Structure 1
Amino acid sequence: MQQRKVSYQTVCSYKYTFRLYLRYLEDVHGISATKVSINHFDLEYLQCFCKYLEEKRKNKPATINNRIAAIKSFMQYVAETAPEYSAISKRVLMLPAQKHELPVMSFITKEEFNALIQVCDTNTFIGARDKLMLLLMYNTGVRVSELLEIKISDIHGADSINHASVIIHGKGRKQREVPLWKTTVKYINKYLKTYPAECTDYLFINKNGDELTRSGVRTRINKLVSQATAQVPSLREKTVTPHTFRHSVAMNLLISGVDISTIAIWLGHSSIETTHKYMIADMDLKRKAMEKVGSAGNSSYKYKPSADIMNFLNSL
């Protein structure tokens, strides 16, 4: 928390990992928490821990990799602060990540999104809040943790429909500013006029006035999807989560011709490699790329780099 300045969610994830590991050492090896030493973080223990997570807890490779990443982070700290344990640390840091198949990326269409909006009963506080939640997720592509951190004071320029934006407090304590659609701004103004609050208050609260939780967001989305399925049956074939809206924003931007580096900034990705997955997810994009290139043996398509590109490459 003090040195790496990681987010609250990361701290919680690391805490949970070490609770699991200490419980594993006691249940499997009979080593109580008070008896644990750095030697019990050696490679052999971690290999058994991976097997324990897979067989006993039925964790998938992605989850196991997250747990091991937390322990590796700790062992990196050990290597820096206690060099006498460097041999153990080196062995642990060499533990390879488990391979796993990446799931097919799911995203919702504009028709499906409109169906979700229409089932929100805006005559009630919950329905009005749900509509605002959907609009912001589909407009900005925020992570659910970022959505819940938005305060009313983070909405900028709401009086000027054409230049409104929202400040997103992202992973790693990074902030980014994302523009808002006119329809989103109009609805925000209407919502805050109906349900006024202090500018320092969180934008999303539950019926008791407390901050909305991640599970609360998931529960509401599940209910809205269930209701909208009657209108748009294609929703029945999809697993719609808060992150699905993030994927949808990325795909909408990509299909609209927005370059990948801009999308990376929009979504708060620290690396374009993270954003690149969206380019390989949509078959229509692949088909358009193929049409641009032309068929085999067709010499009509000739690429000539612009002067700007050549200057950029020469400067590297």
Structure 2
Amino acid sequence: MTPIAPHISAFLQQRLPIECGASDNTCESYSYAFKLLFEYASNILKIPPSQLQLEQIDAQLIVDFLGYLETTRGNGPNSRNTRLAAIKSFMHYMEYRVPSALEQIRQVLALPVKKTDSRLVKHLTVEELQAILDAPVPITRSGIRDRAMLHLCFAGALRVSELTGLQTADLTLQPNASVIIHGKGRRQRCLPLWKETASAVLAWLAVRGKNLTPELFLNARGEQMTRAGFEYILRKHVKTAAKRCTSLATKRVSPHVLRHTCALTVLQATKDIRKVSLWLGHASMQTTEMYTRVDPSAKLEALESVIAPKLRTGRFKATDKLIASLKVQSVMRRKKLQE
């Protein structure tokens, strides 16, 4: 039997960050996936997580774990596939460390990912977006901070990790305002800022103070704003904005919805999917193509450039009620004769 604890520690502390150069967000995501897995396995096998053995984490247990994620925890297929990807990455790592478990490892690696629905991305209308951006009242320190965060999140199409990880050193306000974004896969991109966005950020810097924390946005304790902290702030202001824009009451607005809204705004303004991809920091154009499915402008251009087939004209003539009733009676008599 092979204790799994030392191997998972080496995987998360050495393999991912040092040998593979994985980002902090990737390491955190993988760590959380194994936390869920080991808590589930501990509950099923009735042993402490620290005493789990590699041989106990077999294909059947992982299948049951994935089912637990969807049924009990309510995770969608994408979250389920993300957890499975973390497990498979660890099993690849164990192929050479524990050759005796190779057959078990191959069974785990053979587990398929679950197909996901290709749905239209959710986004906000101009009125809904403006209502959310106007929700913070910029007369208090927190209101000025929240306004800057919401404007910057939308203007840069930022992921939550990109927003909370921004540092004051990433900002350039003179002569032209811009910000350096540290995206997924260690990819950086530099984005210009609207004057309105730059003004909101400048107002926050004026009240932020000389805090030694390098991150741009801080919570009430003067520490780096967390993912959960910003999600709470967004929910609070969406609730306020719904009083002014009632359509928001039926929508679930997440930070990623602001990102999608910015992407569609850029697409409609430029009509260039490549510029959208650069703005969002996508590694592949295929990822960006999902926005063309929800934007009708490109389809309208195609529709206008194609000659539509001619429509045959004619006049509809309603059947006379008397003739129709006679036809029905005739059909019924034929059926009786056949019987």
Per the normalisation by structure 2, the TM-score is: 0.79
Contact 1:164–1:179 (8 Å) recurs in 2: yes
Per the normalisation by structure 1, the TM-score is: 0.84
Contact 2:120–2:293 (8 Å) recurs in 1: no
- Residue 239 of structure 1 and its aligned partner are, at CA, apart by 1.1
User: In structure 1, what is the equivalent of residue 134 of structure 2?
Assistant: 118
Contact 1:153–1:200 (8 Å) recurs in 2: no
- Residue 81 of structure 1 and its aligned partner are, at CA, apart by 4.6
User: In structure 2, what is the equivalent of residue 311 of structure 1?
Assistant: none
Pair 1:258–1:85, CA change in 2 (3 A) = farther
Q: Deviations over 1:266-312 (max 9, x none)?
A: 21111112111111123454344333344358xxxxxxxxxxxxxxx
Q: Does 1:264 align with 2:277?
A: yes
CA distance in 1, matches of 2:47, 2:307: 65
Select the structure of larger CA radius of gyration.
Answer: 2
- Residue 258 of structure 1 and its aligned partner are, at CA, apart by 4.3
Gaps of 5+ in 1: 298-316
Q: Does 1:216 align with 2:232?
A: no
Q: Does 1:252 align with 2:265?
A: yes
User: In structure 1, what is the equivalent of residue 164 of structure 2?
Assistant: 148
Percent identity (aligned): 35
RMSD: 2.3
User: In structure 1, what is the equivalent of residue 31 of structure 2?
Assistant: 15
User: In structure 2, what is the equivalent of residue 242 of structure 1?
Assistant: 255
CA distance in 2, matches of 1:257, 1:244: 20
Pair 1:131–1:76, CA change in 2 (3 A) = same
Q: Does 1:276 align with 2:273?
A: no
Helix, strand or coil at the partner of 2:18: coil
Helix, strand or coil at the partner of 1:95: coil
Contact 2:154–2:258 (8 Å) recurs in 1: yes
User: In structure 2, what is the equivalent of residue 64 of structure 1?
Assistant: 80
Contact 2:144–2:204 (8 Å) recurs in 1: yes
The more displaced of 214-223 and 20-29 is 20-29
Where in structure 2 are the equivalents of 1:1-316 lying within 5 Å?
1-30=17-46, 32-156=48-172, 158-160=173-175, 163-197=176-210, 201-296=214-309
Contact 1:151–1:201 (8 Å) recurs in 2: yes
Helix, strand or coil at the partner of 1:256: helix
The amino acid that maps onto 1:25 is A
- Residue 31 of structure 1 and its aligned partner are, at CA, apart by 5.3
CA distance in 2, matches of 1:284, 1:190: 37
Q: Deviations over 1:43-79 (max 9, x none)?
A: 2332222233334434332222111111011112223
CA distance in 1, matches of 2:102, 2:307: 55
Contact 1:166–1:180 (8 Å) recurs in 2: yes
Pair 1:167–1:217, CA change in 2 (3 A) = same
Pair 1:19–1:130, CA change in 2 (3 A) = same
CA distance in 1, matches of 2:134, 2:24: 34
Helix, strand or coil at the partner of 1:167: strand
Aligned residues: 294
Gaps of 5+ in 2: 1-16, 311-339
- Residue 206 of structure 1 and its aligned partner are, at CA, apart by 1.6
